[in-house]
């Protein structure tokens, strides 16, 4: 790897860079795209196509201080019941717009905390989704699970609904760090939740952990990673903690003076990364690890890894439909985003229309740049032949673009007639290299959605 001085000179520690789960990134969506565009793009999904569905539940019983997700605290099932009715109505609207024969290659319930729904609600929601489209023959249904918010009846209901993957929020096992980030969760609670899920026959398990938390040291993150490894997750997302208190106000409760410096963050990441590698995990893109026979690892080997709003995916579907407040959909024509506020979202659905607040229609240039960025984020390389054949790019223009990027990174990239490759020692800079191909202005817009490049 390049040493810290070299990485610092290339700007790694002072840059705020998007995570590129879309291109253009969400701050560049505009209100020129509305519910009519969304309805039209849904109606254009071909008969018999496979699509992905993302369903958002923006409620939590606890509001962890570190969390940057838009979510509302609730102590009772009341607000959830009313949100359930909105989801059922939105799903019925979707069914009315969708061509016959569509099946689901992926279904993901995220949040917030979807497991706040009780067993009866889980069954109702699963039934409403089945009315829209049945699962494809090989499907994946994953659910984000807060270990504090799961019990046997809910795990059984999810399994009956077809869940075959679970994603568990861990963050860190260290009790001082947990106190500092307002998330109390013992090792035993996490272990028991995982055992309960596996007992249902759900064998594929992801865990989220964070680096860059207050009081975190290489020793402490190593201890947390060892504990996590004892639970043998199939996949791990190792996210850099994004400290954005101007957007997630409860983050101001964190002791900001105990946050690691950017250079320390790099060391924390490297410590955790080395431990996953030693344990035989394959590195997936910039921040995931997976066992060799996991779907993401296989997709990466076959060059089929993709990037979407949930991070890395092996989903082959062209269309991802987001249901629920703030959810984003992706169509071949562009992106649409539902109204972020639950009240606005519910209001629109009650009027019998989608709540689309913003979006973006792709230009040919968006598609080309979006593919370059996705390929760099997934494979650390981009093939000129693919861009010429699939995106109408001109080989000489590409060569010029890649050469300019190489010059901006002091000749540290590999440019050849085959395309562009980010060598191993430059990989901490991947998001910055991707940003080089982003033609939208990031100087002011979306400050809240950017995090440090490491
Ligand atoms: C939307 S949360 C849902 C997880 C579930 N509610 C739970 O608490 O276990 C999904 C993941 O987002 C990540 N996340 C939340 N806030 C973050 C932040 N400020 N920086 C980086 N990752 C964050 C966490 O790792 C979390 O597990
Ligand atoms: S981490 Fe999970 S439980 Fe905590 S506030 Fe965020 S979404 Fe809610």
What stretch of H or E contains 235? strand 235-240
What CA–CA distance (Å, rounded) separates 105 from 92? 19
Give the global pTM: 0.95
Unique residue bearing structure tokens 């689901």: 104
Any ligand 1 atom below 6 A from CB of 239: yes
Asked whether 442 and 23 are in contact (CB, 8 A), the reply is no
Residue 384, token pair as written in the block:
């000129």
Which tokens in the block code for residue 220? 């402490």
> What is the residue whose two structure tokens read 């609207």?
93
Output DSSP code: residue 285.
T
Taking alpha carbons only, the member of 328, 284, 295 closest to residue 55 is 328
* Ligand 2 center–CA 395 separation, angstroms: 46
DSSP state of 448: G
Token digits for 34? 């509305």
Nearest CA owner, ligand 2 atom 2: 112
The ligand 1 atom at the shortest distance from the C-alpha of residue 147 is 9
Candidates 64, 67, 166: which one to mutate for ligand 1, based on the most atoms within 8 Å of Cβ? 67
Distance CA 447, CA 198 (A): 40
DSSP 261: P
Coil, strand or helix: which one is 373?
helix
* 71 alpha carbon, closest ligand: 2
Q: How far apart are CA 384 and CA 381, in angstroms?
A: 10
Spatial contact of 228 and 205, defined as CB atoms under 8 Å apart: no
| Ligand 2 atom showing the smallest separation from residue 171 Cα | 1
What number does the ligand 1 atom closest to the CA of 67 have? 16
Copy the structure tokens of residue 332: 């071949």
Give the pairing type, strands 165-171 and 135-145: parallel
Q: How far is the CA of 307 from the centre of ligand 2 (A)?
A: 23
pLDDT at residue number 1: 62
Q: Indicate the burial class of 252 (C-beta count within 10 angstroms; 0-12, 13-18, 19 or more).
A: exposed
Characterize the bridge pairing of strands 414-416 and 419-421: antiparallel
Distance separating alpha carbons of residues 153 and 427, to the nearest angstrom:
44
Contact 213, 171 (CB under 8 A): yes
**Contact at 8 Å (CB) between 177 and 255?**
no
CA dihedral 64, 246, 83, 78 (to 10 degrees): 50
pLDDT of residue 11: 77
User: Which residue in this structure is represented by tokens 């890395």?
Assistant: 312
Look up tokens 């609904």; give the residue.
161
- Looking up tokens 């990239």, which residue turns up? 413
Q: What is the pLDDT tens value at each position of the chain, 454 positions in all?
A: 677 888 888 878 767 899 999 999 999 999 999 999 999 999 999 999 999 999 999 999 989 999 999 899 998 888 999 999 999 999 999 999 999 999 999 999 999 999 999 999 999 999 999 999 999 999 999 999 999 999 999 999 999 999 999 999 999 999 999 999 999 999 999 999 999 999 999 989 999 999 999 999 999 999 999 999 999 999 999 999 999 999 999 999 999 999 999 999 999 999 999 999 999 999 999 999 999 999 999 999 999 999 999 899 999 899 999 999 999 999 999 999 999 999 999 999 999 999 999 999 999 999 999 999 999 999 999 999 999 999 999 999 999 999 999 999 999 999 999 999 999 999 999 999 999 999 998 776 444 445 677 7
Greatest pairwise CA separation for the chain in angstroms? 61
DSSP secondary structure letter of residue 363 = P
Kindly identify the ligand whose nearest atom is closest to the C-alpha of 146: 1
Q: Is the CB of 4 under 6 A from ligand 1?
A: no
- Cα separation, 427 vs 405, whole angstroms: 14
- Our mutation pick for probing the ligand 1 site, out of 17, 235, 239, counting the most ligand atoms within 8 A of Cβ, is 239
Helix boundaries (H) for 380-425: 384-391, 395-408
Neighbours of 229 (CB within 10 A): 17
Question: How far is the centre of ligand 2, averaged over its atoms, from the C-alpha of 413 (Å)?
Answer: 38
Q: Is the CB of 147 under 6 A from ligand 2?
A: no
Specify the pairing of strand 328-331 against strand 334-337. antiparallel
The residue assigned the tokens 């760099």 is 376
Q: Of ligand 1's atoms, which has the minimum distance to the CA of residue 148?
A: 9
Cis peptide preceding 346, ω within 30 of 0: no
**Backbone angles phi and psi of 451, in degrees to 5:** -130, 170
């Amino acid at each position: 790897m390049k040493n810290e001085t070299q990485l610092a000179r290339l700007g790694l520690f002072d840059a705020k860079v998007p995570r590129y789960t879309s291109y253009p990134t969400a701050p560049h969506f505009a209100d020129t795209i509305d519910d009519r565009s969304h309805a039209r793009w849904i109606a254009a999904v071909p008969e018999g196509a496979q699509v992905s569905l993302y369903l958002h539940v923006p409620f939590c019983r606890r509001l962890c201080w570190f969390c940057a997700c838009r979510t509302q605290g609730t102590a009772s099932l009341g607000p959830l019941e009313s949100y359930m009715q909105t989801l059922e109505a939105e799903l019925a609207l979707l069914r009315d717009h969708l061509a016959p024969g569509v099946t689901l290659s992926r279904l993901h319930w995220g949040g917030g905390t979807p497991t706040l729904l009780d067993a009866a609600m889980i069954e109702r929601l699963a039934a409403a989704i089945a009315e829209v489209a049945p699962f494809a023959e090989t499907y994946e249904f994953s659910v984000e699970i807060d270990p504090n918010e799961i019990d046997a009846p809910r795990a059984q209901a999810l399994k009956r609904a077809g869940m075959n993957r679970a994603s568990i929020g861990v963050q860190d096992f260290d009790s001082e760090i947990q106190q500092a980030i307002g998330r109390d969760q013992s090792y035993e609670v996490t272990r028991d939740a995982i055992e309960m899920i596996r007992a249902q026959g759900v064998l594929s398990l992801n865990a989220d952990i964070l680096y860059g938390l207050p009081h975190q040291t290489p020793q402490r993150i190593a201890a947390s990673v060892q504990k996590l490894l004892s639970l043998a997750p199939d996949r791990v997302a190792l996210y850099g903690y994004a400290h954005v208190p101007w957007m997630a106000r409860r983050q101001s409760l964190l002791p900001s003076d105990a946050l690691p410096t950017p250079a320390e963050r790099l060391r924390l990441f490297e410590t955790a990364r080395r431990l996953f590698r030693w344990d035989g995990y394959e590195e997936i893109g910039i921040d995931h690890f997976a066992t060799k026979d996991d779907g993401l690892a296989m997709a990466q080997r076959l060059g089929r890894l993709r990037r979407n709003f949930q991070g890395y995916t092996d989903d082959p579907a062209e269309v991802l439909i987001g249901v629920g407040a703030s959810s984003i959909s992706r169509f071949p024509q562009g992106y649409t985003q539902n109204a972020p506020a639950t009240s606005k979202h519910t209001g629109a659905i009650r009027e019998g229309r989608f709540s689309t607040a913003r979006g973006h229609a792709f230009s040919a240039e968006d598609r080309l740049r979006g593919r370059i960025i996705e390929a760099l984020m997934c494979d650390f390389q981009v093939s000129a032949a693919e861009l010429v054949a699939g995106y109408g790019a001109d080989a000489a223009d590409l060569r010029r673009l890649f050469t300019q990027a190489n010059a901006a990174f002091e000749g540290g990239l590999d440019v050849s007639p085959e395309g562009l490759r980010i060598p191993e020692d430059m990989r901490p800079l991947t998001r910055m290299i991707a940003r080089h191909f982003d033609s939208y202005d990031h100087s002011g817009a979306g400050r809240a959605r950017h995090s440090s490049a490491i």
